[in-house]
């Protein structure tokens, strides 16, 4: 019991004295901390308040800047929408202008063609008017200036005066005609560019008509000239062959005609050009989709047929007739285009030598 009473007494004393000790310890600890730190608590609080204020000011400035940027962005968006609207309006206006320009261009083409037609009609009417004037004016002047022998009175002075008057009238007429000619030349010079195209077209049409018409004068004259040239070449080649060859020599091949040589050379050049073109086409289209084997075979067949015709013609020309007398030669080359009856010659067949074998092998290869 005494022990409990002592414990209670000690507890009451500790409770009564403990706060004082606690406050003392706190005060001493605060003094020790204040002595250890360079600033006081009030200064620390002031610094903290200052930092809070600066942070608040920076945050406000940032908010104001964000608001300004947002307003600028809204203004830019509004300007962009306005620019888009204006661009759409400009595009529509541009399309309208393009349509108007195209319409004006079509109208200009129509007017240009109409002007050309009118100019052509004007040229035709002017030509007709000039023809009518040229036909009427000489008749009028001839009727006005005609002085016949019956009109002479026998008085030489009066007759001389009449003749001088007629001469003056004739001079005036010549001056008038010269003036008309100068005006016509000036008019033709001014309209030369406009009528040059029509004249060229007309000339081309006339030329084409003359070329397509087998009975035209130019075609007949051309055929006659070709016949004469061929006859002259034949006689010239015959004379050269007679003078340059030995009459007693046997087995010598006859000289080819100049036209035949030219024809053979042209055929050889044509075949070489065809072969070169075919090689270029094969080299260009070999690895592409445009390569067509069937077309290639047809072209090869055509070239082979041309080569065979040329080879057969050369072999046939190298064969010499067996019998040909001096009378036959004279009758063959005498006169310009004269006809003579030839003696029957020995028939020469188609050669069947190595060339024919080569052509047959070429045809078999092409067929494969």
Question: Per-residue pLDDT tens for 201-214?
Answer: 555 555 555 545 55
pLDDT at 82 (0 to 100): 92
CA dist 205 and 309 (Å) reads 37
pLDDT score of 215: 54
- Answer whether residue 242 is part of any domain: no
- Determine the Cα–Cα distance for residues 257 and 252; give it in Å rounded to an integer: 16
Q: How many domains does the chain have?
A: 1
The pTM for the full model equals 0.24
Q: How many Å is the maximal CA-CA distance in the chain?
A: 208
**360 pLDDT tier (thresholds 50, 70, 90):** low
C-alpha span between 284 and 295 (Å, rounded) = 15
- Residue with the larger pLDDT of the pair 136 and 307: 307
For residues 271 and 310, the answer to whether their CB atoms sit within 8 Å is yes
Structure confidence by residue, pLDDT tens digits, 37-89: 777 778 878 889 999 999 999 999 999 999 999 999 999 999 999 999 999 99
215-229, 301-315, 324-338, range with the lowest pLDDT:
324-338
Is the residue at 299 inside a domain? Answer: yes
Rounded CA-CA distance 199/123 in Å is 12
Mean of pLDDT over the chain: 68
- Above 90 in pLDDT, residue 309? no
Size (the chain), residues: 368
Range of the domain at 278: 254-367
Instruction: Confirm if 266 and 291 have CB atoms less than 8 A apart.
Output: no
């Amino acid at each position: 019991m005494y022990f409990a009473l002592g414990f209670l007494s000690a507890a009451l004393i500790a409770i009564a004295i403990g706060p004082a000790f606690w406050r003392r310890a706190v005060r001493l600890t605060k003094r020790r901390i204040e002595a250890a730190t360079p600033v006081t608590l009030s200064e620390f609080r002031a610094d903290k308040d200052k930092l809070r204020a600066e942070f608040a000011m920076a945050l406000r400035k940032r908010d104001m800047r964000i608001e300004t940027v947002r307003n600028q962005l809204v203004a830019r968006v509004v300007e962009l929408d306005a620019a888009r609207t204006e661009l759409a309006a400009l595009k529509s206006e541009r399309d309208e202008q393009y349509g108007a320009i195209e319409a004006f261009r079509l109208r200009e083409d129509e007017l240009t063609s109409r002007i050309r037609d009118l100019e052509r009609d004007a040229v035709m009417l002017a030509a007709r008017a000039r023809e009518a004037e040229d036909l009427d004016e000489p008749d009028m002047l001839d009727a006005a200036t005609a002085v016949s022998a019956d009109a002479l009175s026998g008085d030489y002075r009066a007759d001389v005066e009449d003749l001088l008057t007629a001469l003056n009238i004739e001079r005036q007429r010549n001056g008038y005609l010269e003036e008309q000619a100068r005006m016509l030349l000036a008019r033709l010079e001014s309209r030369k560019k406009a009528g040059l195209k029509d004249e060229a077209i007309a000339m081309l049409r006339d030329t084409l008509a003359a070329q397509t018409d087998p009975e035209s004068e130019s075609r007949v004259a051309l055929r006659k000239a070709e016949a004469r040239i061929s006859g002259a070449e034949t006689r010239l080649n015959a004379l050269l062959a007679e003078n340059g060859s030995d009459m007693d020599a046997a087995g010598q091949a006859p000289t080819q005609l100049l036209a035949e040589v030219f024809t053979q050379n042209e055929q050889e050049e044509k075949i070489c050009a065809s072969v070169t073109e075919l090689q270029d086409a094969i080299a260009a289209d070999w690895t592409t989709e445009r390569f067509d084997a069937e077309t290639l075979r047809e072209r090869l067949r055509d070239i082979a047929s041309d080569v065979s015709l040329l080879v057969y013609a050369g072999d046939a020309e190298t064969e010499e007739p067996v019998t040909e007398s001096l009378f036959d030669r004279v009758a063959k080359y005498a006169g310009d285009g004269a006809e003579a009856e030839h003696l029957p010659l020995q028939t020469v067949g188609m050669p069947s030598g190595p060339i024919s074998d080569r052509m047959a092998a070429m045809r078999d290869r092409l067929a494969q």
